[in-house]
Amino acid sequence: MIEILKIWIINIITIIVFISFIEILMPNSKMKKYLNLVLGFIVMLVILNPLINIINSKVDLEDEFYKISRDLKKEEYVFVSNNIENKQKQQLISLYEDRLKTDVVNRIESKYDVNVLEIDINLEKSEENLGEIKKLKLSVIEKEKVMPIVKIDIFKDENDEESEKHGVDMELKEKIRKDISNIYNVKNTRIIVN
């Protein structure tokens, strides 16, 4: 369809240039009126020629319309499906993060005699490491006491200076560290228990 339109425009431009060239060569005389009339008919025929061809070839315009409409709907479908896919991926990551938080809280509270005050989990969102725990912060208190006794950070820094400041039992810290490392497949060196 676009190719036909391109050829049609080229024909119109060619005939107009040709007619302009003929008018420049023609001297001013009584014949110029008749020549302009004939040249005008030629221009009209060139302009109307594609319409005459369409009528003669009986191209079904309805079919052409439906083809174009179908292609547009297909593009719209692809766009909408990509948007839905992205929303589903975001919802899945959010659901995974919420369930992971619940799981960590339940495991820590059931295995150790503590209550979890606060939990914050940052997950990897890149395609290759999707869902991997980048950082986990956990604040807990003993069930009888109100003051926080354990804070867990998971990250790539191996600096363990903060863990010595809180008088938390080293054996409990090591148990929590090993437990999280085994359950969530996080390297032991990335876990810091404060």
- 131 vs 69: CA distance, rounded Å: 41
Query: Which of 34-38, 117-121, 144-148, 152-156 has maximum average pLDDT?
Result: 34-38
- Which tokens in the block code for residue 42? 């030629």
Residue in 146, 144, 140 with CA at minimum distance from that of residue 179: 140
Look at residue 166 in the predicted model and tell me its pLDDT.
Answer: 38
Would you state the pLDDT for residue 150?
Answer: 62
- Residue given tokens 């009986």 in the structure block: 58
Most confident of 22-36, 66-80, 112-126: 66-80
In the sheet that 133-142 helps form, which strands lie side by side, from edge to edge? 114-123, 133-142, 148-154, 191-193
pTM of the model: 0.49
The mean per-residue pLDDT over the stretch 9-19 comes to 90
> 130 versus 87: which is more confidently predicted?
87
2-25 helix and 31-57 helix, angle to the nearest 10 degrees: 170
Report residue 87's pLDDT band, with 50, 70 and 90 as the boundaries.
very high
Say how far residue 188 (Cα) sits from the centre of its chain. 35
d(CA 42, CA 50) in angstroms, rounded, equals 14
C-alpha span between 67 and 74 (Å, rounded):
11
CA distances, 132 to each of 72, 126, 128, 136, 157 (Å)? 39, 9, 10, 11, 16
C-alpha 104, offset from chain centre: 31
pLDDT category, 174, cuts 50, 70, 90?
A: confident
pLDDT tens string 31-51: 888 888 888 898 898 888 877
Mean pLDDT score of the chain: 78
> 1: which DSSP letter?
-
pLDDT at 167 over 80: no
> Which strand (E) or helix (H) includes residue 46?
helix 31-57
Assess contact for 152 and 193: CB atoms under 8 A. yes
Query: What's the one-letter identity of residue 32?
Result: K
pLDDT of residue 184: 82
Residue 4 is predicted with a pLDDT of 77
Q: How confident is the model at residue 14 (pLDDT cuts 50, 70, 90)?
A: very high
CA distance 176 to 154: 12
